[in-house]
Structure 1
Amino acid sequence: MATFQAVFYLIAIVLLVLAALPRATRRTRGIGLALLAAAFALTAFAAPTIEAGF
């Protein structure tokens, strides 16, 4: 369980760092990566609740 949460938090951190990097091609890509990172962080945060349901 803790490993699941740790992996998802690490993925969220990496995605947030990538979203913060300046990119010259498209400006909306950072927003998409940030939203994906938020989804991973929320899934990791809700992992105990999800685990209790199964």
Structure 2
Amino acid sequence: KIDLEQARKDLDRLESLHADNLIAETTYDNQLARVQGLEKKVEGLAADVKRL
């Protein structure tokens, strides 16, 4: 979860830069994909814990 929280903070920072066209589209897209991937990972781990 800590990685996800940090990734979300990084995405928040990049969103304002992205809105002002100060970063490459790829940079923003990569961070968004990272956040989405970590969200899925956390969901999967939470489901595993429930099954225990």
Q: Same fold (TM over 0.5)?
A: yes
TM-score (norm 1): 0.57
The RMSD of aligned alpha carbons is 2.7
- More contact order relative to length (CA 8 Å, sep ≥ 6): 1
Residue 46 of structure 1 aligns with which residue? 44
Distance 1:19 1:38, change over 3 A: farther
TM-score (norm 2): 0.58
Structure with higher helix content: 2
Give the aligned residue type for 1:48: A
Stretches of structure 2 that go unaligned for 5 or more consecutive residues are none
Stretches of structure 1 that go unaligned for 5 or more consecutive residues are 1-5
Aligned length: 49
Residue 3 of structure 1 aligns with which residue? none
